[in-house]
Amino acid sequence: MENGNHKEVPEDANEHCPGTQSEDAGKSDACAGCPNQEACASAPKGPDPDLIAIAERMAAVKHKILILSGKGGVGKSTFSAQLSFALADMDFQVGLLDIDICGPSIPKMLGLEGQEIHQSNLGWSPVYVDSIGVMSIGFMLPDPDDAVIWRGPRKNGIIKQFLKDVYWGELDFLVVDAPPGTSDEHISIVQFLKETGIDGAIIVTTPQQVSLIDVRKEVSFCKKVGIRVLGVVENMSGLRQSLSDFKYVKPLKNGGEEEEDVTERVMAVLREKAPELLDVVACSEVFDSSRGGAARMCVEMGVPFLGKVPLDPKLCKAAEEGRSCFAGDECRVSASALSAIIAKLLKNDTIA
């Protein structure tokens, strides 16, 4: 698809393709010899009627937010899940749509593994947890280990179904967890939702340059397709962990095969000699951020910086167990950072 004029062009089309929806599709001189010529000439032309059905479904959704990342493994789905938990805790009606077709993580991160989608007279029913309506292809796989080996058109088809066939009901927020990169899924979700109004995108990254290089491309994608960047979140921004949560070992010496675990001895000394240190949080930089990290990149690219979330093992554990990090104070290090980011997001004029 050419984003400037929304002309749909197959990947294997000839140069100067008029687009599949053009009246000249399959008929112009540029179509001669194209493998798609016959299909284009016979295909129905005009607006996609499914877009009308999507617009009707989305009319009951106040805000639509895309969660994007340039690279995989930066914590995008964790952020999507925790954002949804936080908004639900504020008594907002929240839907979470997982369009990562090949790597659906949301069922795991919401504690919904093994759940199935049910059909009603209103359409597909989302799976609910803590009042959050969740939809993912992960609910449709016979075996969770099954690989989804689909080309673009089939991915686009299921995303369209998630939007037009799912009965989301009235929502304050629809959070869309997208796969990393700028591929078919991203083009499809923008195309399907553009006319219904997308509030914008939140882009998740880690501090190091190898991630930020691709985040720049994500920002560029948003600008090209006319999606506002609500802000960038720097995730895993340094390890933060209480001293009492560490494991302590003696390093190997003289070719020894196993490190010696001295955790109990260290903790005994701390409890006896310096109990006040047990609640101290240790901080360590995991990724190199000497070049300014996401904050500097945001200044250079003219997009908002929402804040940093530390690498918190307690948050990782909550995500693995499908829990909100805001319940109790176990994840206080990361929960406070996430709360500040979400508060900043909700002050945005587009979302307020």
pLDDT at 305 > cutoff 60: yes
Say whether pLDDT at 117 is over 80.
yes
What is the predicted pLDDT for the residue at 169?
A: 94
| Adjacent-strand bridge partners of 142 | none
Confidence at 139, pLDDT banded by 50, 70, 90: very high
pLDDT at 6 over 60: no
Q: What is the pTM of this model?
A: 0.84
User: Is the predicted pLDDT of residue 2 greater than 70, yes or no?
Assistant: no
Backbone φ and ψ of 185, nearest 5°: -60, -40
Could you tell me the pLDDT band of residue 5, with boundaries at 50, 70 and 90? very low
Q: What confidence score (pLDDT) does residue 108 get?
A: 97
Q: What confidence tens digit (pLDDT) does each residue in 142-174 have?
A: 898 999 999 888 999 999 999 999 999 999 999
Q: How does pLDDT run across 216-237, given as a tens digit for each residue?
A: 999 999 999 999 999 999 999 9
**pLDDT, the chain, mean:** 90
Give the per-residue pLDDT at 252.
78
Q: What is the pLDDT of residue 11?
A: 66
Single out the residue of 243, 310, 240, 334 nearest to residue 280, CA to CA.
243
The residue-averaged pLDDT of 103-112 equals: 96
Could you tell me how many residues make up the chain? 352
Q: Which of 63, 51, 96, 92 is nearest to 78 (CA)?
A: 96
What's the pLDDT score for residue 255?
Answer: 63
Residue 48: pLDDT band with limits 50, 70, 90? confident
| Span of 15-19, 31-35, 89-93, 160-164 with lowest mean pLDDT | 15-19
How many Cβ atoms from other residues are within 10 Å of residue 205's Cβ? 29
Average pLDDT over residues 167-189: 95
Whole-number pLDDT of residue 1: 43
Comparing CA positions, the residue from 94, 83, 80 lying closest to residue 179 is 80
Question: Residue 92: is it exposed, middle or buried by C-beta count within 10 angstroms (0-12/13-18/19+)?
Answer: middle
CA dihedral sign of residues 118, 123, 127, 128: negative
